[in-house]
A and B are shown apart, each in its own frame.
Chain A
């Protein structure tokens, strides 16, 4: 008889350890600690947001909670809706395009955001000059939500919840029900010109754009004044897993679906009269189809891969789009040129989330290999594996507000980044990444060199036929021993349930779990800084041994 299933300890000891472990996990569930320590100090649980109790327990479907931060600027100007968008509702739209909100405002940004809202707010510099439009066809508006405000938007079951970020109230101030379908993903654009700043993607494939302020001012439980795209899944009936506004491209947004397609929409175009795209000829190949009519929406379909698109994120300048999906590949596209630039396979399994560094140099991914991977645009390679999660990594984000400890000498030689990740192990992990630029070798391959025939007519869809284009730019899974490993500087169990969302604000870290609980963790010292750190991040340097004590963080000496 063969010996099978060797157990690694004697029966007695394995029982003992498992008893301990059971006891530990049982006691942990009510007692998730309300603070955690980092090298820079202690983060404290400030407040929580959740859905009303008793509501929709077990109507979750298979939708997990995502969280989006939305900052509405002061004194919205009211203008009539522009002609292209007016078919929607007859309601009033607002332009939130301000010529500034003054430097005294709390500079909340929108960086991070779990890959779905990878967008930085523009720097606000000048004083506000409200443009006061006069039309108000719907009678007097409530004035309560006219002013500046910061909101957390999150989905649970068939509802979208809007909470006031700064209030201590647990319960949301607004609930929007979608009834027949569940919202899956959302995104917010603080710079939206015509007031349609909120995007919502549903599991039916439907996508809406709407004005957040209008939702707040309306007393009902329905989405109001929205434009409806891919109505009843008429263009694509698969679940919409990710939506994102295209930075610096007014009115353009993308929606990623469970069948491997990403659609590009222009909100100034009527969503009605949808003309379906021709079937994808070869589902294994990247291909782009453009709408035949210049009026129809979506304006383009990007077939990216077989299997689901799980996350997408734009670099803050809008130049690059990163996607991750079921096939385990990160892909980076030059969005305007419709070119696949580069990409890489996970160690194994699907990738679930992605996010850009504020300077656009690195892309984080997380997935079913329990790893956080750091992809370098410059090196065209995976430059670090973050090992520390005990389950799948469901959210990643750079901290655009984090300031490296004060530099001594040799500033500029090392660039340090802080990023975070959340996992289905219920843990939040924080990581420090230091790139010693002195040892960065010459690039092996320029990004443009990685995309074959990039000087050819890039906008032609026929350009994408054939396998060589995708194969040339995509790297296989890295060899394990060749990838520098990174250890977290902090690991903390932040919820009782698996986590699904993470974002950084100027004064806090926001985490969300599968079943619709959101927690706000105040940064050490809490007070918000007077300067905008984002622009300085790439310049901040410091001696490596001071930043990252050995055995905690790691300095990455990039290999050849």
Chain B
């Protein structure tokens, strides 16, 4: 390895460094770590990266700048670097983001999950629009849907007439409540637990033609290729009139299956591997910092804006959260990306 080799290259070793892979930090343009951390996680969601690079290759003559073309340029920029490691400045992407959405048009700390949501939906809309005239079909399937979309079945049983109605709902990611000293499996189970709709939340039963008490549960009917799980760590507390962070320890395994599925997809018992985690560091939603860890060719990397480090898989446990409520500040997993095996 040459004298120019970065510390990271030395650490990985020239014989171990994956061919044609690039590990580039992203420059922070003033509180843009929410953006950088999500972009890195998405870059290492391989199916997503491939589609974005593919889009770049197929749209060379496209002159109209969109958030997607900016993302494609950024990914292309990283993927075609001569060096294996270094930093790039996502200047154009950030500028475009700030131009398109006033929420992000400032130098304040933003929510990484809100950004992920916005980005995926914007890309999906752009792709749908590009598919052309068949605007009538609103649920046009794009590669964003192919990668991230799953389906939930919302089953409601009227407690008066016992009739069962179910409604399907698509999702690009799942937001789950967190609880102290639990696992992500438990959070997903709670997400699907049966709840009773009563008093002000009564359910309008079409059979009874009136509002009735009902039981409702939400289970997963179709599993996505990449399962994005958002841990609801920011809770609004009325007494303080602000959002506070729940630094609860929520453990997440490197390998995952889901328990909360509808019975008819038992045969489709997908095994997921953890591929990326967006981590929130600090005490509250408007303060602190975002970093991400990603899996690449069997080892784990930590991206902290322009810094990139190789980490041991055993270091992931540092990001589960805290077992005591006394400390509010923590480095804890915020968005988990699980990729289906095959």
A interface residues with partner B (beta carbon < 8 Å): 1-10, 13-15, 17-19, 21-22, 25-26, 29, 62, 328, 347-350, 368-370, 390-392, 424-426, 479-481, 496-498, 514
Contacts and interface: CB of A to CB of B under 8 A. Distances in A.
B230 interface: yes
A392 B169 contact: no
B165 interface: no
B266 interface: yes
B253 A368 contact: yes
A183 B199 CA distance: 56
A2 B152 CA distance: 14
A186 B171 CA distance: 48
B257 A3 contact: no
B314 interface: yes
Contacts of B152: 6
Interface residues of B, number: 52
B256 A370 contact: no
A1 B125 contact: yes
Given A10-B201, A328-B255, A424 B181 contact: yes
Given A5-B117, A19-B237, A498-B323, 5 more contacts: A2-B121, A6-B174, A348-B271, A390-B183, A424-B183
Contacts of B307: none
Given A9-B195, A391-B182, A1 B121 contact: yes
Given A5-B171, A18-B177, A22-B235, A349 B325 contact: no
A127 to B, nearest CB: 50
A347 B125 CA distance: 38
13 contacts: A2-B145, A3-B171, A4-B172, A5-B175, A6-B218, A14-B177, A348-B256, A348-B257, A390-B186, A392-B183, A392-B253, A481-B266, A498-B249
A336 B244 CA distance: 58
A479 B195 CA distance: 28
Nearest to B315: A62
B306 interface: no
B53 interface: no
B8 interface: no
A370 to B, nearest CB: 5
Contacts of B254: 349-350
B183 A391 contact: yes
Given A2-B124, A349-B254, A370 B171 contact: no
A328 B175 CA distance: 27
Pairs of residues from A and B, 8 with the lowest C-beta to C-beta distance, nearest first = A349-B253, A368-B253, A5-B175, A390-B186, A391-B183, A4-B172, A348-B257, A25-B180
A3 B169 CA distance: 8
Contact of A4 (B120, B324, B325): B120
B179 interface: yes
Residue among B173, B255, B257 with the most chain A CB within 10 A?
B255
Dominant SS at the B interface? mixed
A22 B124 CA distance: 37
Residue among A14, A62, A347, A391 with the most chain B CB within 10 A?
A391
Residue among B175, B183, B236 with the most chain A CB within 10 A?
B183
Interface string B130-148: 0000000000000001000
B244 to A, nearest CB: 10
B100 interface: no
A513 to B, nearest CB: 9
A501 B173 CA distance: 36
A551 B282 CA distance: 44
B171 A347 contact: no
B186 A370 contact: yes
Interface string B193-227: 00100000100000000000000101000000000
B1 to A, nearest CB: 23
A426 B182 CA distance: 9
A319 to B, nearest CB: 31
A28 to B, nearest CB: 9
Nearest to B192: A8
A297 B173 CA distance: 53
B317 interface: yes
A426 B121 CA distance: 39
Contacts of B172: 2, 4-5
A29 B322 CA distance: 13
A414 B198 CA distance: 45
B182 A425 contact: yes
Contacts of B324: 29, 496-497
Interface in B305-340: 314, 317, 323-325
A496 B322 CA distance: 12
Contact of A15 (B117, B230, B236, B251): B236
Nearest to B177: A18
Nearest to B191: A8
B8 to A, nearest CB: 23
Given A368-B253, A369-B257, A4 B181 contact: no
Contact of B181 (A1, A15, A425, A479): A425
Nearest to A1: B121
Contacts of A8: 191, 195, 216, 218
Contacts of A19: 237
B162 interface: no
B232 to A, nearest CB: 8
Interface in B220-277: 230, 235-237, 246, 249, 251, 253-257, 259, 263, 266, 269, 271-272
Contacts of A368: 183, 251, 253, 255
A25 B124 contact: no
A25 B325 contact: yes
A5 B175 CA distance: 5
Residue among A5, A9, A18, A497 with the most chain B CB within 10 A?
A5
A265 B17 CA distance: 37
Contacts of B195: 8-9
B81 to A, nearest CB: 32
A5 B173 contact: yes
Contact of A62 (B120, B179, B182, B317): B317
B34 to A, nearest CB: 16
A5 B174 contact: yes
Given A350-B253, A370-B183, A29 B171 contact: no
Contacts of B175: 5-7
Residue among B230, B251, B314 with the most chain A CB within 10 A?
B251
Contacts of B191: 8
Given A62-B317, A391-B183, A514 B323 contact: yes
Contacts of A1: 121, 125
A14 B317 CA distance: 28
B85 interface: no
A17 B201 CA distance: 14
A425 B181 CA distance: 5
Contact of B255 (A5, A22, A26, A348): A348
A424 B183 CA distance: 8
B170 interface: yes
Given A25-B325, A29-B325, A479-B269, A426 B181 contact: yes
Contacts of A7: 175
B31 interface: no
Contacts of A13: 201
A5 B224 CA distance: 13
B141 to A, nearest CB: 11
Contacts of B173: 4-5
